[in-house]
Structure 1
Amino acid sequence: MSASPVRRLRIGIGGMAIESSQFCPHRSMYDDFRVTRGDELLARYAWTRPDDALAERVEWVPLVHAVALPGGPVERGTYDLIRTELTARIRDSGPLDGLVYDIHGAMSVVGLADAEADLTDAVRDATGPGTLISAAMDLHGNVSRRFAERLDLLTAHRLAPHEDAWETRERAARKLVERLVSGRGRPYRAWVQVPVLLPGEKTSTRLEPAKSLYGQLSSVEALAGVVDAAIWVGYAWADEERCRAAVVVTADSPELAVTQAELLARQYWNARRDFVFAGPTGDADDCIARAVASTWRPFLISDSGDNPTAGGAGDLPYMLGRLLAHEDLASGRVTALHPGITDPEAVAACFAAGVGTEVTLRVGGRVSAGTGPHAEPYELTGTVTALEAPPSPGPAAPRGNPAYDGGGRSAAVTRGGVTVVLTERRRPFHTRADFGTLDPLGYDLVVVKIGYLEPELYAMAADWLLALTPGGVDQDLLRLGHQRVRRPLYPFDDEGFEGPDLTAVVL
């Protein structure tokens, strides 16, 4: 008699991912999200392919996934629409053994104090208690107790920049399958928050102490009985009680989980004053002056306060004004490329005028005007030097980032030595391809709305400065005006704040 075939596990895939600055006037709407279902959703992940080793054991059940470029808080109606679809698809899918929960961890929703906890409550209610849920998260997410206790497994990126983002999702999926195959059920999670909240640009794993703190996680995970170990630095540009660092160690033994979690939490706390910016810093004028005077080319400058991939509006013309205030750049003796200010009206005017035409525009401030002098539109007279209308994006490749597709049309306008790229939609400039027909290597300075440099920009830069500019993701947290974070909290509180309770709670 032949053996009965092994039942394939039914594992759903779904989630909602965005990080949202509550200090940004932008509001994230449904059209800002790339929503995938069915085969298009499965195509996001390499490990769902029929030739993957998991295929014999798992029937992957695509639910719905929504991902957006970071921005301002999500409008409540948009959130409710996505949450309702996700939970309905879970209920309609039939019994699930597991769920790969692909989220970010720093989503803010208008009217909610802990959006990921609210979403996870709804997801858990839909799956029922018997489904194991494994969350893959960004290390810049927030991990409240309410959120964590509804999950069975949770892990986060171990690199910043996030070169391991897809590896993190795969780890969450494979750990879930291992757990289900083993029959050991729900592991113990030791959770502890650390009263530290740092901007992402101070927590790059290229530098100490983050390099060593995160570098040891794989060794902790390798300990007998440990399932996973993760550290979250938190998201500094939301103003909620949950915003702070956190550690979760998942293990078969509660004692082991607690011991390792408390050790990691203590190390993080002890290192709090050792975190430094990922590169040399200065204000806008200082960074521009140093870059102009340097012989290194191209010299990159990060316009960090308006970084759209951290939640900035992406429409601030502040750096454009500072560039053109420098005589060498205004005269054309030194050249600079500055992508990309979001301004659909200015882009439309450039397309109507055509390449080679002189235009006078009020640039930027379409969303942010009124939030401060740095956000007022900048009057720019220059020549349209490039127009680009990229084709609509197709289905994302498994290793692509669909949140960053669809930047719409763009226009380049040159005045003196400064070429500014205007975009219809908020978008990043992280790779050579993002610049289109413009060659960043052909300019003396490249001034990008970003924080620490992503890998291709990092490789491109002959030298680099991080400009501490104003905006919705200002790196100087103390000038943002947090009101609802739980105090005491470093760096808002420092002197006399030496003995936090770092006792881990078993969930």
Structure 2
Amino acid sequence: MPRIAIAGLGCETSTFSPARTHASAFHPRRGDEILQTYSFLQHGTDLGNAATWHGTLVGHALPGGIVTKAAFEELAHEIVRRLKDLVQEEPVDGLWYDIHGAMVVEELDDCEAELLRRIRQVIGPDVIVSASMDLHGNVSRELVHQTDLITCYRTAPHVDVMETKTRACHNLVAVLNSKDRLGKRPLKAWVPVPILLAGEQTSTRIEPAKHLYAAVPEVEAMDGVLDASIWVGYAWADEPRNCAAVVVTGWDEHAVKRGAEKLAGIFWEAHEEFDFVAPTGSLDECLQAALGSRKRPYFISDSGDNPTAGGAGDVTWTLHQLLGRAEFNSASGPRVVYASIPAGSQAMQTIVEAGIGATVTVMVGADVDNIHAGPVQLTGRVHSIKHGDRHAHIEAVVQSGSIFVIVTELRKPYHHEQDFTDLDLNVRKDAADIVLVKIGYLEPELFDMAADWMMALTPGGVNQDLERLGHKRIVRPMWPFDKVFDKKPGLSAILIPASYEPLWKHGFSALHD
């Protein structure tokens, strides 16, 4: 049976946030702990029985600010060391590279390619590498060059995470076990597409992304094609690699090139049609719409500080506005749930010591991102307290007027109904009027709960107004930063050589032609 190693680091990273991501944020899993995480690799499953799987280190951090160089070096060094120990016992045949694709490290460009370069120095040039990614990752020429197989999610919101990881492993095993292609590596056709849009403009729930991603299985079904993938790219980082991309892998040169160019062409033809997944407006416009609507609960996305897109999560601008509105000053006003604002350990200690039912005054927010507003002095009744959350550590709800503010020790996304019910908050019909969440497009459970919703275009490290962020290093022209192109992009597929040596040795740029 093939002997396959598992390694990878992932963090969706905003370079427009002042936050920094440290090693502990990756919650690293090691050895058998990795196999226990992925049920499709466990003994008794088809994949589990098709190879011997060996976890080294995999870490995925909550999206955030730039990863410190020290954090990257610490985790990368451990991955390399563990791989060295593994291959000294016996060489490996394959590697599953479990990454996100939009990680940015201090003083380093294209860090996923750099990490894989170091891994290749250990495992060697002949090992087949299969990467699984988020469709909001970035696919440089160098990354495609050093992988043999590469695939990504096909839905946004991402409801096919495990399906994608399973596909990456299945493709890897299939290539390793292929008798008629023994010793051959898959061909890879890569097309960078000069489009860089936010996930909230490219949701596969709606057109044109809906029909764009519907074309992926059609290309994948072509004779001679093994996998087809489209990356939207990550809009809130500023590196030369940041743009949309298509990669098609397989055994037939004509088929992979034709398939990649087909998908890239569909993407470009629709570039002017992409729009936000929901009605948008200023926070005031969204609140007025919610207050004027009979639909309950009415959800509003505080999109500029979305912690699952890379926001610091502690921007207080929206909370300042909410607390300043007369409609919510009385406990009898419209019931509003706000999720959430980090307060730090001292404020949480004050809340915990006071206990449920007590009135507290604490300073919350703006510890990391105070560019847009300063800390909030929050006074209210403690509604609930919860200990032990993986991200937040301690959570509490403080009621100020008719606003129920979720306060956390550390930042946390709120994507599931249980996130609220665990805090004794009912966000269903007749229990909540307005639910305001730090998020972009609504995740599936929230989407199903919302009677109606809008996305507030609020400030923060993942501001939806991309053109005002100040990108300086992306390759131009790039839609929507450039509205006029001298000519239609070529979108010709580039066959990437099957070698792990750095591309500059082949005379190519590592990022673009």
Give the shorter-chain TM-score range: over 0.9
- SS of the equivalent of 1:214 reads helix
The alpha-carbon deviation at position 361 of structure 1 amounts to 2.4
The alpha-carbon deviation at position 406 of structure 1 amounts to 3.5
Asked if residue 410 in structure 1 is aligned to residue 395 in structure 2, the reply is: yes
Q: Please, which of 30, 40, 60 is the counterpart of residue 37 of structure 1?
A: 30
Asked if residue 479 in structure 1 is aligned to residue 468 in structure 2, the reply is: yes
What does residue range 146-185 of structure 1 map to in structure 2 within 5 Å? 146-183=142-179, 184=181, 185=184
Q: Please, which of 7, 11, 25 is the counterpart of residue 14 of structure 1?
A: 7
On the 8 A contact 2:219/2:228 being kept in 1, the answer is yes
1:62 alignment partner AA: G
% of aligned pairs identical?
46
Asked if residue 51 in structure 1 is aligned to residue 44 in structure 2, the reply is: yes
1:375 alignment partner AA: A
The alpha-carbon deviation at position 473 of structure 1 amounts to 0.5
Give the stretch that moved more between structures: 147-156 or 176-185: 176-185
- 2: CA distance between counterparts of 1:364 and 1:293? 29
On the 8 A contact 1:196/1:244 being kept in 2, the answer is yes
On the 8 A contact 2:343/2:363 being kept in 1, the answer is no
- 2: CA distance between counterparts of 1:496 and 1:121? 35
- 2: CA distance between counterparts of 1:343 and 1:479? 29
Match of 2:227 in 1: 228
Asked if residue 368 in structure 1 is aligned to residue 374 in structure 2, the reply is: no
Match of 1:3 in 2: none
- SS of the equivalent of 1:285 reads helix
- 2: CA distance between counterparts of 1:39 and 1:57? 17
Residue by residue, what CA displacement relative to the aligned partner does 1:91-133 show, whole Å, maximum 9, x if unpaired? 2212111111100000000111211111121122221111000
Alignment gaps of 5+ in structure 2:
497-513
On the 8 A contact 2:361/2:378 being kept in 1, the answer is yes
Match of 1:394 in 2: none
What does residue range 121-270 of structure 1 map to in structure 2 within 5 Å? 121-183=117-179, 184=181, 185-270=184-269
After superposition, the CA RMSD in angstroms is 1.3
- SS of the equivalent of 1:362 reads strand
Residue by residue, what CA displacement relative to the aligned partner does 1:136-174 show, whole Å, maximum 9, x if unpaired? 000000001011100000000000000001100000000
The runs of at least 4 consecutive aligned structure 1 residues that moved more than 6 Å come to none
The alpha-carbon deviation at position 407 of structure 1 amounts to 2.1
Asked if residue 105 in structure 1 is aligned to residue 98 in structure 2, the reply is: no
1:481 alignment partner AA: G
The alpha-carbon deviation at position 260 of structure 1 amounts to 1.2
On the 8 A contact 1:288/1:323 being kept in 2, the answer is no
- 2: CA distance between counterparts of 1:194 and 1:32? 32
1:300 alignment partner AA: F
Asked if residue 457 in structure 1 is aligned to residue 443 in structure 2, the reply is: no
- SS of the equivalent of 1:40 reads helix
On the 8 A contact 1:20/1:237 being kept in 2, the answer is yes
Distance 1:416 1:251, change over 3 A: same
Match of 2:310 in 1: 311
Residue by residue, what CA displacement relative to the aligned partner does 1:451-496 show, whole Å, maximum 9, x if unpaired? 1011110111011111111100111101111111111111110124
- SS of the equivalent of 1:316 reads coil
The alpha-carbon deviation at position 354 of structure 1 amounts to 2.1
Residue by residue, what CA displacement relative to the aligned partner does 1:314-333 show, whole Å, maximum 9, x if unpaired? 00122212222332222342
Residue by residue, what CA displacement relative to the aligned partner does 1:379-428 show, whole Å, maximum 9, x if unpaired? 2222222111136xxxxxxxxxxxxx342101211111111111111211
On the 8 A contact 2:219/2:225 being kept in 1, the answer is yes
Alignment gaps of 5+ in structure 1:
1-7, 392-404
- 1: CA distance between counterparts of 2:319 and 2:373? 11
TM-score by length of 2: 0.92
On the 8 A contact 2:132/2:150 being kept in 1, the answer is yes
Q: Please, which of 404, 415, 426 is the counterpart of residue 430 of structure 1?
A: 415
On the 8 A contact 2:32/2:54 being kept in 1, the answer is no
1:149 alignment partner AA: H
On the 8 A contact 2:306/2:462 being kept in 1, the answer is yes
Residue by residue, what CA displacement relative to the aligned partner does 1:330-360 show, whole Å, maximum 9, x if unpaired? 2342110001111213322212322222222
On the 8 A contact 1:218/1:229 being kept in 2, the answer is yes
On the 8 A contact 2:359/2:379 being kept in 1, the answer is yes
- SS of the equivalent of 2:63 reads coil
Residue by residue, what CA displacement relative to the aligned partner does 1:245-297 show, whole Å, maximum 9, x if unpaired? 00001121222211111111111111111111111111111101111111111
- 2: CA distance between counterparts of 1:413 and 1:47? 41
Match of 1:328 in 2: 327
- SS of the equivalent of 2:388 reads coil
Give the stretch that moved more between structures: 324-333 or 274-283: 324-333
- 1: CA distance between counterparts of 2:46 and 2:361? 59
TM-score by length of 1: 0.93
- 1: CA distance between counterparts of 2:488 and 2:461? 32
- 2: CA distance between counterparts of 1:243 and 1:51? 40
- SS of the equivalent of 1:273 reads coil
Match of 1:401 in 2: none
The alpha-carbon deviation at position 57 of structure 1 amounts to 2.7
Match of 2:58 in 1: 65
Distance 1:61 1:286, change over 3 A: same
On the 8 A contact 2:347/2:364 being kept in 1, the answer is yes
The alpha-carbon deviation at position 497 of structure 1 amounts to 4.5
- 1: CA distance between counterparts of 2:349 and 2:293? 36
Give the stretch that moved more between structures: 229-238 or 324-333: 324-333
- 1: CA distance between counterparts of 2:28 and 2:357? 38
Give the stretch that moved more between structures: 320-329 or 61-70: 320-329
The alpha-carbon deviation at position 375 of structure 1 amounts to 3.0
Distance 1:498 1:444, change over 3 A: farther
The alpha-carbon deviation at position 498 of structure 1 amounts to 4.1
Distance 1:153 1:283, change over 3 A: same
- 2: CA distance between counterparts of 1:420 and 1:494? 41
The alpha-carbon deviation at position 202 of structure 1 amounts to 0.5
- 1: CA distance between counterparts of 2:402 and 2:213? 42
Aligned length, in residue pairs? 484
On the 8 A contact 2:222/2:255 being kept in 1, the answer is no
